[in-house]
Amino acid sequence: MSKKITALFDLDGVIVDTEDEYTKFWDAQGAKYRPEIPHFAAGIKGNTLVQVFEKYFLGNAAAQEKITAELDEFEREMPYKYICGILEFLEILKGAGANTAIVTSSNNKKMASVFARRPELKEYFDEVITSERVKKSKPDPEGYLLGASIFSADKTHGSVFEDSSAGLAAARASGLNVVGLATTYPKERIESFCDKVISDFRGQTMELFGDVLKSKKNF
């Protein structure tokens, strides 16, 4: 191909496996502050901290301050286990000269914790687009549109890797190709949003991008 492949990756559930950790944290916060809401963590998947506060802790400045401090500490200590096969796939992309970026609803402080724990990740990404670089969070496509514009990517050469409902909606709205990771939700729940669904990155090669184009849906 004459034009470089551009691959835009969400972070949680796509690069690092944090689902169980965040479920424990937010269920504990829900039990403490909003006990009337069962399974609190399940209801906030894909939401930014600002969105969670606006919906569930509006006007409760004390709770917001305490949760923020506890979350910062929690994220500093998280192991940030990799999604299976991601490093091998990123190495393939690097060898092929592809453009790569992380597009996440997480903030700079969270990314600093990720890179402190996983410093090798930095060498695989040309750009990191955090919540500070956009005005609108997922499901708004602003982050992915920014990533596409940085690399002049289009629907022929640009693909998004996502797992959450809000993230997949953002990816679809961007007009780029959408590869869903069945890490947070089962394949059946996300496949209508995606051009292709994969379980993880084991065995994936550059041929994945050709497969996505062949199965491209007209959303």
Q: What is the pLDDT of residue 32?
A: 96
pLDDT at 2 over 50: no
Structure tokens at 161: 């890797």
The residue to which tokens 């065995």 are assigned: 203
Compare 95 and 218 and report the one with higher pLDDT: 95
Per the CB < 8 A criterion, the answer to whether 67 and 5 are in contact is no
**Quick one: what percent of the chain has pLDDT higher than 70?**
98
pLDDT at 17 over 60: yes
CA angle 89, 106, 94 (to 5 degrees): 20
For residue 198, give the DSSP letter: E
pLDDT at 12 over 70: yes
CA angle 51, 32, 164 (to 5 degrees): 35
Read off the pLDDT of residues 87-138 as tens digits, 9 standing for 90 and up: 999 999 999 999 999 999 999 999 999 999 999 999 999 999 999 999 999 9
Q: What are the sequence ranges of the domains in the chain?
A: 6-17+81-214, 19-77
Structure tokens at 191: 């496949």
Q: What is the pLDDT of residue 1?
A: 41
Confidence tier at 170 by pLDDT (50, 70, 90): very high
Q: What is the pLDDT of residue 118?
A: 97
Structure tokens at 16: 């690092």
Q: What is the pLDDT of residue 62?
A: 97
Q: What is the pLDDT of residue 219?
A: 66
Confidence tier at 214 by pLDDT (50, 70, 90): confident
pLDDT at 52 over 90: yes
**Quick one: what percent of the chain has pLDDT higher than 90?**
89
The mean pLDDT of 34-39, rounded to a whole number, is 96
Element (H, E) at 170: helix 165-174
Task: Kindly report the average pLDDT of the chain as a whole number.
Answer: 94
Instruction: Indicate the fold that domain 6-17+81-214 takes in CATH.
Output: Rossmann fold (3.40.50)
